Amino acid sequence: MRRTTGIQAALSALLTLSTLGLGLTTATAAPGPAPAPAVASPLSPGLADALQRDLGLTAGQAEARLGQEATAARLLPQLRTTAGAAYGGSWFDPSQGKLVVALTDQARAAEIRAAGAATTAVARTEQSLDRAKTALDAAARTTPAPAAVAGWRVDPQRNSVVVTVAPGSRRDAAVAAFLKSAGTTAAVTVEEGAAQAPRTLSAGVVGGDPYYINGNTRCSIGFAVQGGFVSAGHCGGTGSSVVGWDGSAMGTFAGSSFPGNDYSYIRIANGWWTVPVVLGWGTVSDALVRGSWQAPVGSSVCRSGSTTHWHCGVVQGLNETVNYSQGAVQQLTRTSVCAEPGDSGGSFITGDQAQGVTSGGWGNCSSGGQTWFQPVNEILSRYGLTLVTA
- Tell me the catalytic residues: 234, 262, 344
Angle formed at CA 253 by CA 348 and CA 371, multiple of 5 degrees: 25
Question: How long, in residues, is the chain?
Answer: 390
Quote the CA–CA distance of 194 and 323 in Å, as a whole number: 14
- Give the integer Cα–Cα distance in Å for 136 and 2: 44
Pairing of strands 249-257, 149-155: unpaired
- Angle (nearest 5°) at CA 359 between 357 and 365: 95
Residues whose CB is less than 8 angstroms from the CB of residue 218 and which lie 6 or more positions away in sequence, other chains included: 202, 203, 204, 205, 206, 208, 210, 211, 212, 306, 342
Q: Nearest CA to 251 among 224, 282, 279, 277?
A: 224
Query: Any bridge partners for residue 100, and if so which?
Result: 91, 118
Concatenating the DSSP letter of every residue in 267-287 gives: EE-TT----SEE--BTTBPPE
User: Which runs of consecutive H residues, i.e. helices, occur in 39-194?
Assistant: 47-55, 59-83, 109-114, 126-142, 173-182
Distance CA 229, CA 385 (A): 9
Helix crossing, 59-83 with 47-55: angle to 10°?
Answer: 80
Of 204, 205, 261, 206, nearest to 234 by C-alpha is: 261
Residue 47 CB-half CA count within 13 A = 27
Q: Are 97 and 78 in contact (CB under 8 A)?
A: no
